[in-house]
Amino acid sequence: KIGTVIVSVVKGLGLLGKAIGKVLKGEFREAADLAKDSFNGVKKAVVGNNESFSDFIKNAKDAAKETVQFAKDLVRLRNEVKLAEAQQRQLQLTFQKEAEIQRQIRDDISLTFEERIAANVKLGEILDKQFAEEQALANKKVALAALELSRNKTNIDLQVALIDAKTELADLDERITGQRSEQLTNLKGLEKEQADAIQATIDAENKRIADAKIASDKAIAIAAAEAKKKIEIEKALAVT
């Protein structure tokens, strides 16, 4: 009797293993059927048709559902990361091209300050979007590594994978932060150049006005001197 129970239990657990394998392959309906057969077999072997152990059966089935859901989440996350990794390089090249175009506009001294500053602002927006896109992928990698490690916490390879995923996230933040610093430095530089240019225009205008006043005052003084001299000559002629 005991041998029969053991054989039945082992067989039931074997079906559960097959069910998990089906889930990992994406065959969810077949997995559900196998899981159901597995726990029905274990129940029959352990308690027969007696329902007094219904709580045991319920807990066991809940555990099976949790295992199946875990496997589904793992497959989904793996697929999302795989697809995102395939798109990452393409996204990086696209963002790099867009950013370089804005840098060239920003550094073109033949353009107005307004145009150059607008390009630098656009560059900042591109960097923000790039960070958001790459951060989403990096976070998925961290989530995937953490999920895989949660069921096998002593696995060194899985621990290393989680550390690597977190390091990649930190590297991303450092890289984009560096690019943002360059963009902000250039923004401050452009604003200073613009302010200096405006001040130079004001100074030049003030100098022109001042020079014009000096020339006007000089002309007035010369005219006044000539008028005085003319009057003196006329008086001298009148005396003679």
Q: What is the pLDDT of residue 11?
A: 45
Query: What is the value of pTM for the model shown?
Result: 0.55
Separation between Cα atoms, residue 98 and residue 123, nearest integer Å: 8
Q: What is the pLDDT of residue 46?
A: 42
b/e for 183-214, b at 16 or more Cβ within 10 A? Answer: beebbeebeeeeeeeeeeeeeeeeeeeeeeee
Q: What is the pLDDT of residue 51?
A: 46
Separation between Cα atoms, residue 16 and residue 165, nearest integer Å: 31
DSSP output for the chain = -HHHHHHHHHHHHHHHHHHHHHHHTT-HHHHHHHHHHHHHHHHHHHHTT-GGGHHHHHHHHHHHHHHHHHHHHHHHHHHHHHHHHHHHHHHHHHHHHHHHHHHHHHT-TTS-HHHHHHHHHHHHHHHHHHHHHHHHHHHHHHHHHHHHHHT-TT-HHHHHHHHHHHHHHHHHHHHHHHHHHHHHHHHHHHHHHHHHHHHHHHHHHHHHHHHHHHHHHHHHHHHHHHHHHHHHHHHHHHH-
For the chain, the C-alpha Rg in angstroms (whole number) is 41
- Residue 134 · residue 145 · CB < 8 Å: no
Q: What is the pLDDT of residue 123?
A: 94
Task: Sort 58 into a burial class: Cβ within 10 Å, 0-12 / 13-18 / 19+.
Answer: exposed
Render each residue's pLDDT in the chain as its tens digit; 240 residues. Answer: 333 333 343 343 444 445 444 444 555 555 455 455 544 554 454 444 444 445 544 555 565 566 667 778 778 888 888 887 877 888 888 999 999 999 999 999 999 999 999 999 999 999 999 999 888 888 888 888 898 888 888 999 989 989 999 998 898 888 888 888 889 899 899 989 889 989 999 999 999 999 999 999 899 989 888 888 888 887 777 776
Helix 156-239 crosses helix 113-150 at what angle (to 10 degrees)? 170
